[in-house]
Structure 1
Amino acid sequence: MKLLHRYTKDGLNLLGCYWGNQKKETCVVFTHGMFDNLLENTFVHILGENLSKNGYGFIFGHNRGYGVINNIIKKDPRTKKTSEEIIGSTFENFGESIYDIELWIEEAKKLGYSKIILAGHSFGCLKNLYYISKKKPYWIEGFIFISIPDSVGLINRSGMFEKMFLEADKNIGNGRAKKILAKKMLGVFPICSQTLLNLKKGGITDIFPLVENPKEFGIFEKIKKPILMILGEKDSVIVNSPEKDFKILKEKAINCPDFTGIVIKDGTHRYIKKENELSKVVNEWVKSKF
């Protein structure tokens, strides 16, 4: 395993972790979810080690939403002068995640890999979908979605965020877009006004509408490569049931030549104590397809 410090096109210095191999053919590039990071993710090192043993590369790359509030070194792309920027899940701009995903895909290419599988967990899956919608990377060979949430749909269905959205709108109207809201997101971590509004119905993250289940399903239905979807049996992102969710999504993946949906028994959203099972599913799928 090797640590990588690399700069995005807009100048953020992000940490990546790379598990390599001698074949240099196929690499899985992984996008993590909200407030996740290399140190506190319990399954990523197992996944990376096993993929490497099986002859595949694996890059777990931090995106600007790692941790809750973090201090990232930033280098001006023009002047090369460095400064510091406070970001993390509390302050991140979802649309800028394109730079982070692009960084680690390009790093895999520089390392010599000719085939890329784009993977993600939780909110990272939505970032990958957004990247696909904007960049249209036809050359990516396959996609892995682990516990992908319809964040906007679940928030809207809960009916618990109306006051937070009103507070965020008021703060932005007063020119205080980065003001942290009074209540924590999901009761877990603080979030600023502008970041919360990304999660509003019709907003930039409204990209995976499983709750609403409309006839047209956006970028997901345009994917033309193999898809692996994984859910924990007790996953917090389940909309109906794992089986019904997979049935709907398989029907929506109208251009996908090979859709696989797997449920990890007793698995939760973070796959704690189910890390080996998760790794086995991913490795078996990658070996069978690539």
Structure 2
Amino acid sequence: MQSELITFAATDGFPLDGLVYTAASGAADRAALLVHGKIMNFYTGPGRILPPHLTALGWSCLAMNRRGHDLGGIRNGRESYGGAWEKFGDSLLDIAGGIAELKRRGYSKIMLIGHSFGGISAAAYAAAHPDDIAALVLCSAGSGGRDYLVQSSRRGMLAAERHDEVDAEARRLVAAGRGEQMIGVPGWWYAITAASWVDLSGNVPSTVDNARRYPGPILALRGSKEATEAYPAEAVAEAAGKRATLAVVPGGDHFYNGTEPAFVSAVCDWVKMAA
């Protein structure tokens, strides 16, 4: 396995970074695109865990950063970006850029793997562009939908019990032309711009609905410690029917801490069988 740090562009030109892992053997036309979760990046979570095992099966990999990686940062200037600024549509532009980069490198059979918020994005991209995606792996994909932020707050994240108050403040700031103003919130991820809050409150699609729309094979996976309301692997598998396989990692949390071997086995066994 060889690795290469690259910079490539989202379809709107935004620069993104990632790590390409090239399989030493196997079909030269197949690759996996790995998409991280909210506030994560390409060197954490499944994007770090899976590539050595997938390349051993003959699948090259691109573990990519969405522009929503980490809470915030800068590149070659002082204009900030990151998870606190992210809008849902950004993720789709970023994934499209990753797909284009893999195609440019000669890969025509692409498996899309998304974790958490990246799973919501991956399901949406696959449903909208089924011809691009040979197989879809949803690792603890969030439920998405119109209740995405409400549900997150109800679980103690984001605004927690202050949800209605923060929602009103975010909408007031956007209406006043101050959408880039940061709002501190009591729960993880602790800060968000008003514009990002308003966007995510209305534009995050349902993962279950998108799994139903995507016509290819799906692995729907979650840890056994995760709430099915928030990470609806069972509902995804039911919606996709015979195209889907459900896997629940015993003892697994949202990041598969301490259960990495079982998580890897669940993904790789399915890849060998279905993808």
Question: Shared fold by TM > 0.5?
Answer: yes
* Ranges of 4+ aligned residues in structure 1 off by more than 6 Å: none
* SS of residue matched to 1:172: helix
Aligned residue identity for 2:103: K
* SS of residue matched to 1:98: helix
Q: Give CA deviations for 1:229-287 in whole Å, capped at 9, x if unaligned.
A: 1101112x5218x8xx544333322xx54210101111111112222221221111111
Match of 1:212 in 2: none
Deviation at 1:14, TM superposition (A): 1.2
Q: Distance in 2 between matches of 1:130 and 1:289?
A: 21
Match of 1:79 in 2: none
Q: How does 1:98-247 map to 2 (within 5 A)?
A: 98-133=92-127, 135-151=128-144, 152-153=146-147, 155-157=149-151, 158=154, 160=161, 161-184=163-186, 186-200=187-201, 203-208=202-207, 218-235=209-226, 237-239=227-229, 245-247=232-234
* SS of residue matched to 2:266: helix
> Which sits farther off after the overlay, 1-10 or 50-59?
1-10
Match of 2:58 in 1: 55
Contact kept, 8 Å, 1:68 with 1:189, in 2: the verdict is no
- Corresponding position: 1:252 with 2:239: yes
Aligned residue identity for 2:129: K
Q: Are the structure 2 counterparts of residues 127 and 42 from structure 1 closer, same or farther at C-alpha, using a change threshold of 3 Å? A: closer
User: What is the TM-score of this pair, normalised by structure 1?
Assistant: 0.82
Q: Distance in 1 between matches of 2:80 and 2:142?
A: 26
Aligned-residue Cα RMSD (Å) equals 2.2
- Count of residues paired in the alignment: 262
Q: Are the structure 2 counterparts of residues 162 and 118 from structure 1 closer, same or farther at C-alpha, using a change threshold of 3 Å? A: same
Contact kept, 8 Å, 2:123 with 2:138, in 1: the verdict is no
Q: Are the structure 2 counterparts of residues 5 and 264 from structure 1 closer, same or farther at C-alpha, using a change threshold of 3 Å? A: same
Q: Distance in 2 between matches of 1:250 and 1:42?
A: 22
Q: Distance in 1 between matches of 2:70 and 2:274?
A: 33
More helix by share: 2
Q: Distance in 2 between matches of 1:189 and 1:182?
A: 6
Contact kept, 8 Å, 1:42 with 1:272, in 2: the verdict is no
Q: Distance in 2 between matches of 1:277 and 1:247?
A: 18
- Segments of structure 1 that go 5 or more residues without pairing to the other structure are 74-82, 209-216
Q: Are the structure 2 counterparts of residues 264 and 145 from structure 1 closer, same or farther at C-alpha, using a change threshold of 3 Å? A: same
> Which sits farther off after the overlay, 41-50 or 96-105?
41-50
Q: Distance in 2 between matches of 1:17 and 1:285?
A: 23
Contact kept, 8 Å, 2:139 with 2:222, in 1: the verdict is yes
Match of 1:288 in 2: 273
* SS of residue matched to 1:72: coil
Aligned residue identity for 1:198: D
